Amino acid sequence: MPTIIQTNPKILGGQPVIKGTRVPVARVLALIGMNYTLKDLKKEIPHLDRLTKKNIGDILDYYKHQINV
């Protein structure tokens, strides 16, 4: 699991979130699916101010692997 993704049963019932936030990874993926850019994501969700292109790539790679398992 990429270091940008965190799961904790005490945070959103254990849903994968962006580390250090309560922002579900599913929300980030949904916005990416709607063609949001990194700049758009940071504007929409200010808690993602430290999110990088590499982080986005890591998230997409992780979920791509999960789908193919």
Domain spans of the chain, in order of start: 5-68
Question: Per-residue pLDDT for 66 more than 90?
Answer: no
Q: What does each C-alpha distance from 1 to 40, 44, 64 come to in angstroms?
A: 25, 25, 12
Write out pLDDT tens, residues 4-47: 999 999 999 999 999 999 999 999 999 999 999 999 999 999 99
Determine the 3-state secondary structure of 69 from DSSP.
coil
Indicate the helix (H) or strand (E) that contains 27. helix 25-33
Q: Answer whether 16's CB lies under 8 Å from 5's CB.
A: yes
Q: Which fold has domain 5-68?
A: Arc Repressor Mutant, subunit A (1.10.10)
For residue 49, pLDDT beyond 80: yes
State the amino acid at position 6 in one-letter form: Q
**Mean pLDDT of the 51-63 span:** 94
pTM: 0.87
